Structure formats: C-alpha cells, structure tokens
C-alpha cells in the first residue's frame, strides 16, 4: 500500500512538461523511422526577406536523400552523423561525426494533438510550446508518423519558417545503394573548449575539431539547434551582409531554414550556423565572444603564417 | 655707376690680386651701395664663423681622402635601408593581403548538417538545404 501511495505521489508531482517532452521525443523518433518520398516547399520570412526552396526528399532508415528540381545534378545525403553533398557525381563537401553528448531534455512540450487531414491523408496536428510561447506547429501522418508539415514561430507569434510536403508517397522504395556516397571523417569528439556549457537555454552537446583546424560545438534545446565554429584563421563567409545586434556587428546570411553568422575575434574567426528563429539570435550571440578587430599586425601574421 | 658685387665676394674670399684690391677700395670710397654690401657681407660671414663646430658621428661621412668608400663603413646606412625595405614589403603585403580566409557556407553546413543528423529532431524539419543558387553557378 505504501509503495502504491509513493507511486501515485510521484505521478502527481511529476512535472507535466516532462511527460509532454517524452511525447515530443516519441513523435520525432517515429517520424525518423518512417520511409517515404516527398516534395517539400520551404518558405522562411527573415529580416533579410523571404528565402524559399523546393526540394525532393526520400527518407529510409533514418537517412535522408535530398535533391532539387532546379538543380538536377545536386544531391545531398544526410543521416547517422554523415552529410555529403554531391554535384554532377563529385563530392562538393562532406563530413562525418559521432555524437558524444547526451540528448538534451527538450524545453518544449506538445499538446494532446488534434485530428486533421493533410494531402488527403489522416494526420494529427500538434502545437509545440516552451515557456508559454508556441514555437512550432507539427503535422504528422497518422499512419506512418512522417512529419508532413512544420511551421516554426518567432517569439511574437509570427511565422519564421514553414516546411510542408506538397506531394507524399509512403510506398516509395527506399533509395538504392548507388545513391549512397562515401563520407569523409572530418571530426573527432572529445575536444576541450572554452565555449559555454549552456547558452540562452541551449545545451552544448559535443565539441569537435577536424584536420582543417575547425573547432565547433553543437548546441540543442531539443528541437532547434546550432553549431558554433572557432577557426584559427580569419573568417569571411562568401555570402551575407553586415548586421548589428546589441551594438555588435556580424555578417549574417539566411538560407531556407537556416541562418549563418560570421565574425572576427582577437583569436580568430567565429561562426554560428543554426535553424533557430531570429528572435533567439541576439541572446545566443551575446553569450559568445564578441566581434573584435584583430588589428593590422594580427591580421597580417595570420595571413602570412596561418 | 658700375657696382662691384662680385669683387666684394672675391675680396672676402681672398681671391683678389693687389691691383684689384686697390681698385676695389677706391671704388668703395665713392660708392655707398657697394660699401653697404661690403659691410653686410662681412657681418654674415662673421656670424657663420661664430657658429660652434659639431663633431659628426664616426662613419657618417667618408673621409675626404678616401675616394672608394668601403661597405663596412656604411653598415648603419645599409641596416636602415634594409629596415625600410622590409617595412615597405610588410606594408604592401598588408595592403594586398586578403582581409580574411573565405570559408564557403558548404564547409560550415557539412559539419553542422552531419551533427544535426544525429539530433532527435532531425528529419524534414531540420535537414540542411544547400545553397542551390551558389551550387548552380
């Protein structure tokens, strides 16, 4: 009887968010296991304007293959720590990492869900919220659990990005072996870093360093994520425009579903790449080393000697 | 009246013959302008002669009797010139050196995308989309 009372007490005292968070994990995990092919439209409203794309997706065994109708020779394979971009049969860039950090406890919860229809299929729509702010709307296929549509919101409730399938085929065969591309190991775990363990509600999960001297840390809050890069040489991304956040000047570049910030410090170049909504950018960047002009001689020294 | 300015300079330099000196002195007795020029020239020369003599650093000026200057005596000059050349090269390098190493977004994306593919939220909501416009260039 005492054990039963303790169990009931534990259930009552268990935070509701923990129970919901588990459900969010389960929904996302089920979505990863689904096999299908689809066409997806990505539309993001950013401070720099609208960025959109139409891509072709096929998912099997947790791996995604991505193509684009406007770029028939370009193909991306991602999953299980690998990422390979191929153009006309040649690898443009690739990386392979091993996750070492624990999965963070999501700071978001989902509601009980509401039945709906999407692309003529039964689906369930969930709202994902954290700290009383709705951050995403997720529509999952009721039969196989695939994530059919996701809308992410800024803190003020405005839409940041919408990713929605416009075609969906759950019977499509998984991609063949010929589409699998060799990935190149470029990072190892276990690197020390002075980057913060937590940053604006995000947890640092891993730190990597590769042969090119790129040190990067991966942060996640259970849904959104970003990577912070520390590069010994100076850094300038090949796109982007200057932007001032909290009196700090960065180079910022948006692409569909993603943002990149780059800046210089006394010790080298830094960059932040992630899918977090714009209202989170300033708080995250405020927790990182501030942009600083390295000065003529440091610039010259790094240019001459690396 | 013809004035004898050139003869005054020559006189003060001790370059006139005795007949020329007598001719100059007779002229000065009757020419106020040349007498004044003579007086001014003497004042200037006296002022110059009264300046203190400074000892020049050794090696700065080659000895007068040496027509061929040996290199080791100009070491200071050569070191200075070499430093100037180095400074010039550095300045030019600083100007022409690219301000930063350019990193493509794909290099960052590949690393971020690889790690994000391990994320529980990975999938259609999170896949990193390559910059198609750049790849098609």
Examine the domain organization and report whether B44 and B78 are in the same domain. Answer: no
* pLDDT: which is higher, B69 or B42: B42
C-alpha–C-alpha distance, residues A225 and B119, integer Å: 9
pLDDT at residue A280, rounded to an integer? 96
Examine the domain organization and report whether B45 and B79 are in the same domain. Answer: no
Beta-bridged to residue A254, according to DSSP, are A259
> Is residue B125's pLDDT more than 80?
yes
C-alpha–C-alpha distance, residues A105 and A21, integer Å: 8
C-alpha–C-alpha distance, residues A47 and A68, integer Å: 25
Domain annotation covers residue B129: no
Partners of B96 on chain A (C-beta within 8 Å) are none
Q: Do B132 and A269 touch (CB under 8 A)?
A: no
| Residue owning tokens 């200071």 | B76
pTM: 0.70
Least confident of A107-121, A224-238, A275-289, B123-137: B123-137
Judge contact between A118 and A143, C-beta under 8 A: no
Return the closest-CA partner of residue A227 out of A254, A250, A257, A206: A206
Domain annotation covers residue B105: yes
> Is residue A46's pLDDT more than 90?
yes
pLDDT at residue A101, rounded to an integer? 66
**CA-based nearest residue in chain B for residue A150:** B125
Of A31, A218, A237, the CB nearest to B115: A218
In which band, very low, low, confident or very high, does the pLDDT at A141 lie, cut at 50, 70 and 90?
very high
pLDDT at residue B58, rounded to an integer? 67
Interface ipTM: 0.84
pLDDT at residue B21, rounded to an integer? 83
Max mean pLDDT range (A153-167, A210-224, B36-50, B94-108) = A153-167
To the nearest 10 degrees (0 to 180), the angle between helices B5-12 and B18-30 is 130
Domain annotation covers residue B103: yes
Partners of A300 on chain B (C-beta within 8 Å) are 90, 93-94, 97
Q: In this complex, is the C-beta atom of B117 within 8 Å of any C-beta atom belonging to chain A?
A: yes
pLDDT at residue A271, rounded to an integer? 93
Domain annotation covers residue B137: no
Q: Do B114 and A214 touch (CB under 8 A)?
A: no
Domain annotation covers residue B65: no
pLDDT at residue A138, rounded to an integer? 96
Q: In this complex, is the C-beta atom of B120 within 8 Å of any C-beta atom belonging to chain A?
A: yes
Of A83, A233, A303, the CB nearest to B113: A83
Domain annotation covers residue B59: no
**CA-based nearest residue in chain B for residue A27:** B121
Segment holding B19, helix H or strand E: helix B18-30
In which band, very low, low, confident or very high, does the pLDDT at A196 lie, cut at 50, 70 and 90?
very high
Task: Note the pLDDT tens digit of each residue in A55-81.
Answer: 999 998 778 888 887 778 888 888 888
Contacts of B5 (CB under 8 A, 6+ apart): B34, B37
Map out the domains of chain A with their CATH numbers.
Answer: 2-179 (2.50.20.10), 198-305 (3.40.1000)
Task: Note the pLDDT tens digit of each residue in A103-138.
Answer: 777 789 999 999 999 999 999 999 999 989 999 999
Supply the range of the domain harboring residue B96. 74-119
Show the beta-strand stretches assigned E in A7-146. 36-46, 49-60, 63-68, 71-79, 82-87, 90-96, 109-110, 114-118, 121-130, 133-141
How many structural domains compose chain B?
A: 2
pLDDT at residue B101, rounded to an integer? 57
Closest-CA distance, B75 to chain A, in angstroms, reads 28
Of B107, B115, B125, the CB nearest to A150: B125
Partners of A83 on chain B (C-beta within 8 Å) are 109-111, 113-114, 117, 128
Max mean pLDDT range (A1-5, A18-22, A267-271) = A267-271
Q: In this complex, is the C-beta atom of A108 within 8 Å of any C-beta atom belonging to chain B?
A: no
Domain annotation covers residue B95: yes
The first and second tokens of residue A284, run together, are 């995250």
- Give percent of chain B above pLDDT 90: 1
* pLDDT: which is higher, A272 or A174: A272
**CA-based nearest residue in chain B for residue A69:** B132
Interface probe with A: pick from B89, B109, B111, B137, most Cβ of A within 10 Å: B111
Domain annotation covers residue B99: yes
Judge contact between A277 and A160, C-beta under 8 A: yes
């Amino acid at each position: 009887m005492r054990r039963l009372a303790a169990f009931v007490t534990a259930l009552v005292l268990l935070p509701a968010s923990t129970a919901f968070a588990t459900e969010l994990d389960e929904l996302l995990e089920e979505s990863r296991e689904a096999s299908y092919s689809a066409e997806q439209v990505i539309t993001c409203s950013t401070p720099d304007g609208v960025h959109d794309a139409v891509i072709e997706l096929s998912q099997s065994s947790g791996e995604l293959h991505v193509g684009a109708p406007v770029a028939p020779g370009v193909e991306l394979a991602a999953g299980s720590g690998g990422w390979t971009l191929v153009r006309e049969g040649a690898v443009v860039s690739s990386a392979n990492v091993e996750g070492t950090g624990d999965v963070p406890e999501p700071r978001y919860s989902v509601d009980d869900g509401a039945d709906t229809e999407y692309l003529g299929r039964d689906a369930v729509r969930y709202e994902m919220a954290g700290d009383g702010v709705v951050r995403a709307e997720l529509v999952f296929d009721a039969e196989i659990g695939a994530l059919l549509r996701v809308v992410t919101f800024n803190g003020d409730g405005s839409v940041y990005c919408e990713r929605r399938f416009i075609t969906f085929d759950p019977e499509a065969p998984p991609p063949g072996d010929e589409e699998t591309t060799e990935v190149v190991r470029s990072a190892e775990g276990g690197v020390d870093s002075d980057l913060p363990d937590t940053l604006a509600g995000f947890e640092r999960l891993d730190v990597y360093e590769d042969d090119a001297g790129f040190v990067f840390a991966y942060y996640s809050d259970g849904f959104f994520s970003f990577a912070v890069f520390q590069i010994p040489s100076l850094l300038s991304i090949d796109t982007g425009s200057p932007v001032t956040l909290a009196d700090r000047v960065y180079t910022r570049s948006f692409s569909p579903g993603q943002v990149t910030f780059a800046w210089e410090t006394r010790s080298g170049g830094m960059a932040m790449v992630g899918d977090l909504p714009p209202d989170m950018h300033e708080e995250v960047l405020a927790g990182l080393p501030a942009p600083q002009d390295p000065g003529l001689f440091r610039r010259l020294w790094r240019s001459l000697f690396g | 009246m013809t004035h004898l300015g050139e003869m005054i300079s020559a006189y003060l330099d001790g370059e006139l013959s005795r007949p020329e000196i007598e001719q100059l002195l007779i002229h000065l007795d009757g020419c106020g302008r040349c007498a004044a020029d003579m007086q001014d020239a003497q004042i200037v020369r006296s002022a110059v002669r009264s300046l203190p003599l400074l000892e020049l650093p050794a090696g700065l000026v080659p000895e007068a009797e040496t027509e061929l200057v040996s290199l080791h005596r100009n070491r200071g000059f050569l070191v200075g010139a070499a430093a100037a050349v180095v400074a010039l090269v550095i300045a030019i390098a600083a100007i022409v050196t690219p301000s930063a190493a350019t990193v493509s977004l794909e290099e960052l994306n590949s690393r971020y995308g690889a790690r994000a593919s391990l994320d529980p939220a990975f999938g259609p909501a999170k896949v990193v989309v390559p910059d198609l416009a750049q790849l098609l260039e």
